[in-house]
Chain A
């Protein structure tokens, strides 16, 4: 079998909308096959995974809770990826944001005041921003690959968190458990509803998505982002600074990841723990791509990926499906999203085994 690509004259508008849908459908199909290999009834397993969480008001709220960090990070990553800056260390920036914000919360522990939470948010965003500043500086100044440096710094951030939670920030009255004090009410995210965990972070997520959408579609800065990513020489011709864009995109996404980090710690978690993320920073990469690097698309993609987390937990409890199945789903989904995006720019022609003989060059 051979696959030939034929460039379309212009991108297919139909496919821009259809390709994520196709990717999701194929992923569900492959997921069903995976479940039947595990000895499960595929349709039932898919139901437990993807439908049941939507039938329950509490879990619907949880969906938003999990989507909140994914959207915040995913929106920032969209700007990065559009400008061809590959920040894949959002997980580390998330953690550093969580740490920085927590430090404020713990410093003013026991105090009351409307200013504590905003200060924590600012500190969180700054923490993420500063952690992203490192790969940005290394790239702009030394031309070091940001993919590798940002990722390496994620491992370092996780070690720092571990150190702090077991050391300086540990709750002295906590029976030596590796966790900080529970944040006081003034340092906790206000909830949006009674009886759920949905918190103010969800509002941040929506606002940031809309703000970035306006930035990308209406402003000259957004134009700069797109040109820098698509045609670096044209960006130079337009007088846009390449290094400036490295800083802008990485710092913006770092700050949003940091904000997500502190929102998570001050929200559903309520204290600093050795693990504060089930991999939101990495999953947000999928969210960004599934959302077509479009901030509004990211909102929907964030909700969908949040569903894989909740469905995964559901399936773990009800069907004893291993937790790693969620990671597999996410990986497969990104794979098919990327493959289906090819349909936008190309027509794919598949020549069967009986087709024209294939020419070989290595003679």
Chain B
């Protein structure tokens, strides 16, 4: 495996959790709900996923565990913002705090354990393909799932009837309610999907990326995923670009440290966060571009009358 392949593969694995978590949040926001608790759902996914993977000695169970954990946490968010009409920003923050605390309790018994993951043997034939072959072979299954999810979400939003209903609910919950759609139910499903995605992304971090459990190991990736949705102007394929951009910045930081460049490592560690700020500022400066795709009801409380 040459250096380029190796570096590219690390970029892929740094980008995958961002892509998956951001895709989930994109669907949530398209339904008109702003869930700022991605960080919390991700860390819960990391803890539950790791715990499940060790307990059942199965990576698959680990990923399922992560998704279930993220979805359960998002359900609490859903009950509050949908049924109790609470402020979405504050509730999302509460979700993050709760997730960080609970994940610490869940993960504690598993501190110090590591997981061995193996490359995908069944794909060995693609290794023969020049240049991209080793990359394709070297990618882990979740990276593929990330791509599949991207295509699936894009198709769902643009071409399916359910996706049309979801966009309609995000555009005008009042109209959707008047036409007889159950706005809260549509939003509940979207929130649960977002929770499962964030959970999967978190499980990926603890099971594949690190692979061990550490407190607060998501280190702001949930927030970066939120910023990516803004960066992508709510267009799924642009998320891919954003996720890989941020994956590359993260990896750059490690390689710069490895190359012993005379920059304080704390500065390099700040890069992803500074890049996020820079990207947000640049994207937000052109209001109209972002506004075209912004779900009109994003973040607003909707209480149906009956």
Contact = CB atoms under 8 A, between A and B. Distances in A.
Contacts of A11: none
A52 interface: no
Given A143-B284, A145-B284, A167-B264, A324 B101 contact: yes
Contact of A147 (B36, B108, B179, B185): B36
Contacts of B223: 148, 151-152
28 contacts: A5-B83, A138-B277, A138-B280, A142-B282, A143-B285, A148-B223, A148-B280, A155-B270, A155-B273, A160-B270, A289-B90, A322-B104, A322-B105, A324-B100, A324-B104, A325-B105, A328-B101, A330-B101, A331-B102, A334-B90, A335-B98, A338-B87, A338-B94, A339-B80, A360-B185, A361-B185, A362-B185, A362-B186
Interface string B220-249: 100100110010000000000000000000
B215 interface: yes
Interface of A: 3-5, 7, 81, 86, 88, 134, 138, 142-145, 147-149, 151-153, 155-156, 159-160, 162-163, 167, 282, 285-286, 289, 322-332, 334-335, 338-339, 341-342, 346, 348, 359-363
B94 A334 contact: yes
A339 B98 contact: no
Q: Interface size class for chain B?
A: 35 or more
A4 B306 contact: yes
Contacts of B93: 88, 285, 334
A4 B303 CA distance: 9
Contacts of B230: 145, 148
Contacts, number: 164
10 tightest A-B contacts by CB? Answer: A327-B101, A324-B104, A331-B98, A328-B101, A334-B94, A163-B266, A361-B181, A331-B97, A3-B83, A159-B266
A169 to B, nearest CB: 13
B99 A156 contact: no
Q: Among the interface residues B93, B165, B269, B283, which one has the most CB atoms of the partner chain A within 10 A? A: B93
B84 A348 contact: yes
B102 A328 contact: yes
B185 to A, nearest CB: 7
Contact of A159 (B90, B270, B276): B270
A335 B94 contact: yes
Contacts of B86: 338-339, 341-342
B85 interface: yes
A89 B110 CA distance: 31
A324 B281 contact: no
A169 B101 CA distance: 32
B277 A328 contact: no
B56 interface: no
B97 to A, nearest CB: 4
Interface in B248-296: 264, 266-267, 269-270, 273-274, 276-277, 280-285, 287
Contacts of A323: 104
B95 to A, nearest CB: 8
Contacts of B102: 324, 327-328, 331
A86 B223 CA distance: 14
B52 to A, nearest CB: 18
A163 B266 CA distance: 6
Interface in B170-225: 176-177, 179-182, 185-186, 215, 219-220, 223
Contacts of B226: 148
Contacts of B157: none
